[in-house]
Amino acid sequence: MDQSELKSKIKRALLEELDLRGRTEADIDDAAPLFGDGLGLDSLDALQLAMAIEERFGVTMPEGEASRAIFASVNAIAAHITREKAG
């Protein structure tokens, strides 16, 4: 799977799992922050998203501080999945 397809699937997971009403894949910038001023996600969203990423992509998501950098953006999640799949 190439990076653009992977990022599209991550965005789809965000939209489906977190019920981001009124948003589309096109509304989510690959480099935009997912938390705070970005999509405005919170810690509960992070848990739900971590479970969805693990289930959909077959990778392990670290807990605590280690996950903060991974959940920074769609780009960061895609990079983590790519690393996990390669390793």
Q: Is residue 39 predicted with pLDDT exceeding 90?
A: no
Give 2-29 pLDDT, tens digit per residue: 999 999 999 999 999 998 888 999 999 9
- What are 35's strand-pairing partners? 41
Helix (H) or strand (E) holding 65: helix 65-70
CB atoms within 10 A of CB 57: 21
pTM for this predicted structure: 0.92
Q: How many domains does the chain have?
A: 1
CB atoms within 10 A of CB 64: 6
Domain range holding 10? Answer: 3-86
Here the CATH number for the domain that contains residue 50 is: 1.10.1200.10
3-6: long-range contacts, CB 8 A cutoff, minimum separation 24: 3/78, 3/82, 6/78, 6/81, 6/82
